[in-house]
Structures are given as structure tokens and as C-alpha cells.
Structure 1
């Protein structure tokens, strides 16, 4: 983990709950824990153990992020899961955007762990970037560019701003697509735990088709494991947008149901 100073409000969050259920909360690409503070604190208030890591290179500077890749981010997600497993007998994982990718990756990596009870994805990235998009990104890299305009703060509520980098590091975007998404996008049928999917109808970062792909492939054909919730009032960062309380309420209901609380 970098020693670069963490921006105020972007710190990781860890909470010791009063029950047996733990929730792993994972933020998105170029974001930080602040984008899901509303959810993490609600889970803690409900008595759950919570681990909300700050992924390597996030919440500091974009230059810091440029020293990291998918291996670093997934490694921290796995470490946070293990920290949670030390005090929780039942675990649910929730993630926003790339955090949703990491949620699905965790589900596949830990599918033999009886403690894993469910996955929650909010506007998750579930498939690699289109080939023409990645060709354009690679061309930019070949021309010596390292960063393109940022993707943060896609929020419908004009009174809310996400703390996120102003730029998107290109090589890291390639790593997310090639190292993170490509190996798992065809494997969602292997998932055998319940999945709650939140999908915004208008999303300027990850197209709604990404959530639809997960809905249509997770758990195998005709699966009854998947619950799909459409968010009609929020953009990409729905966890901070008009539907943030809906996400909390439905997530808490889901957690109680899959853990038989």
C-alpha cells in the first residue's frame, strides 16, 4: 500500500459488529471508500461486521494509482475478505462498478467457502471494454499518453459530488479489462450463491447492458438466485445518488435473508 497521504474522507473503514454476519464493501475504479460510506455505516449500524478497504492507488493521487494494477486491487479485496472471515461466520460482498467486478471475482475465488452467502453488485462492470475502445486506449498509450479524462461523479443529484480522480490512468484501465474482466466474464454461471443486482437505467460510465449480462448468465440458465433491481433516479454512482437509501434498504433485507438472520 502506498504511503502517499490519503485524501480526507477516503480512509478505509473497519467495524466490529455484534452478530455473526460480515459485509465486505468494495469501491470502484479511480474512486475510494467515500463512495460507499453511506452503505458501510448502515451495515455497521445494523450490527454487522464491516470491512471497507481502500484499494491500492486509490484515494490518494492518480500518479499513485499508476503504480498499481488488477493484481494489487484483487489482492487487497482478498485480504479484506480474510480479515472479515476472522470474525464473521457468514459473509456478503457488495461492490460498486469495478468494486462489483471484484465482488464477482471474490464470489468465484471463494465459491467453496461455506461462509460466503451472497453477492451485491451496483452498476457492476461485468465484461471487458469493446475491442474498438481498447484499440483506441492502446493507441493513446503508444502515443505516450498516460491519463485520459476522469469518469468520476456520474451522479444525478446536483448537490452531491463524488471524491474521485480527475483523470483515468490508461494502463490501469487496460489491466481492469484484460486482467480483471476478461478471465471472469464467461464464468458467472458457476456462481451458486444469491446475487442482488442494482442497475441504473441511465449510466454514463458502465452501460446498463453490463448488469443485464450478469442477470442473464449468473447462476446458470433459469436461475432463481438472481434478484434484479432497476434504479430509475440515479446515474452510475448510485450509492451516493437519489437511490442510495433504496440500495441500503434492499441490501439489508437481502443480507438478512441469505444469512437467515
Structure 2
């Protein structure tokens, strides 16, 4: 086992209305390479969409942050990673804590649904709307997501995104962004635009996923995500020390 890798912790988050099933293969791949990985189940997930309706975005973030703090207490280097909304949580964490690096897959920072502007009012009249789950090109995959989205939770999601975007200038850790060529959930490039416009670090590495949809961690390009993130985290860990985590001067690289 690589001695540098053995000291690296990864705080890895699933996405909105999803479950641990969506990131378990990624976590397993990282563990097989010697990383310590924490994959918290976010409040309101893995139960029912009615439970999700009772939760706030701060609960989601605090649960993810707790996983980071546990790793930080035991690992020399900690990195943040996430899928979709989990990417927003990872970016927010990087703005508030000295993570060494961030890797995100199809990160969401903007709600593309035009109805989102009315979510604050709709939540009092409409309880839930149909969800877009299992946006996966590869046959036979199941992310175990909810079939419906509580409008109250959708409103919380919008608040999380708004808060995270406001904090992006404070995040400076090297960032790896995996983006599917076709994504039916994060449809527009506005989320990527928020990163390129506001992210505080200059070392942003984009990796195009040509053969996957939104849940790319279960899709045809999953192997590339796993291999490239392992390579990225090892590179950052090798250049980091406990005293300099998050302080390296970034350089931009587009993949």
C-alpha cells in the first residue's frame, strides 16, 4: 500500500434524492487503492421522499461536514468528492475547510427547472413532483433514487446552491470536474459556468465523459472516473503535507 495514499481520507457524497448506491462503486475503488473513505447517508435519503420533505439543506451539509471532520482527525490529507448535489456539498466544504483537493461528477449549483423560481410558493400548494432518477446510459443500473421530489426539499436545494455559489471564491483547492456529454438532470452548463466564473482557485481540471449520463459513477465512464480521481488525489497528496494542505499555488489544467 502506498504510504502517502494510506494517509488520505476522502469525504464522498451522493446526490439529491439519491442513495449510497450511486457512489458505492467509486468508494470501493478508492478503498481498494488504500484511501480511507467516508460516505455519509444524507438526512432524508434512503428512507422516503416524505422524510426528505422534513429536512433542511443545513442538515445535509452538516452530516457531510461531520464525515470530513472525522477524517481530518485521523488523516494527514483529506479531499472532498461528490456526485451532483454532493458536488455542491464538496465545494461548500472546500470553501470552509482546508481540504487538499476536490473532485466532483456532474456537479449541480443551479436548478435548471424553470419552476424553481416559484418553489417558495409552490411548496405550500404542491406536495411533490415527479423525479428524474436513474439517468444512466448503461443498462441494468439502479441508483435507488426516489420517484418523487418534495417541493419543500427542492426549495432547500435551491437555497443550498445559492449559498454555495456565494462561497465559491473562498475555495482554492485544486479541483477536478467530471462532466457528461449528455446529462438529463443538470441539463444546462450554468452550473459549470458558476464554477469557472466564481471558483477561487485557478487549478481546475475538466474531464469530459463521452459515454455517460448524469449518474456517471454507475455508467459507462465510471472506470475513468475512478482511475482519474485516484491519480488526482495521489498527485495532490504527494505534494501536500499536514502543514500545507490546501495552500499549494494552483495551476490550471484542462483535461
TM-score range normalised by the length of the shorter chain:
0.7 to 0.9
Which string of whole-angstrom CA distances, capped at 9 and with x for unpartnered residues, describes residues 213-259 of structure 1?
31343235xx2x10001111111100101111000010000000111
> Normalising to structure 1: TM-score of the pair?
0.84
RMSD: 1.9
Change (3 A) 1:87 1:50: same
Residues 1:151 and 2:132 aligned together: yes
The CA distance in 2 between the partners of 1:73 and 1:89, in whole Å, is 25
- 1:77 corresponds in structure 2 to 64
Q: Give 1:202's match in structure 2, choosing from 182, 186, 190.
A: 182
The CA distance in 2 between the partners of 1:69 and 1:103, in whole Å, is 17
Structure 1 gap ranges (5+): 1-16
Q: Which has the higher contact order (CA 8 A, sep 6+)?
A: 2
The CA distance in 2 between the partners of 1:216 and 1:38, in whole Å, is 31
Q: Give 1:173's match in structure 2, choosing from 154, 173, 195.
A: 154
Structure 2 gap ranges (5+): 240-255
- Segment drifting more, 36-45 vs 187-196: 187-196
The CA distance in 2 between the partners of 1:129 and 1:235, in whole Å, is 16
- 2:145 corresponds in structure 1 to 164
Give structure 1 regions of 4+ aligned residues with deviation exceeding 4 angstroms.
Answer: none
- 1:142 corresponds in structure 2 to 124
Change (3 A) 1:242 1:18: closer
- 1:189 corresponds in structure 2 to 169
> Normalising to structure 2: TM-score of the pair?
0.86
Residues 1:53 and 2:40 aligned together: yes
Count, aligned residues = 235
Classify the secondary structure of the residue corresponding to 2:207. Answer: strand
Classify the secondary structure of the residue corresponding to 2:12. Answer: strand
Per the TM alignment, residue 35 of structure 1 is displaced from its structure 2 partner at its CA by 0.2
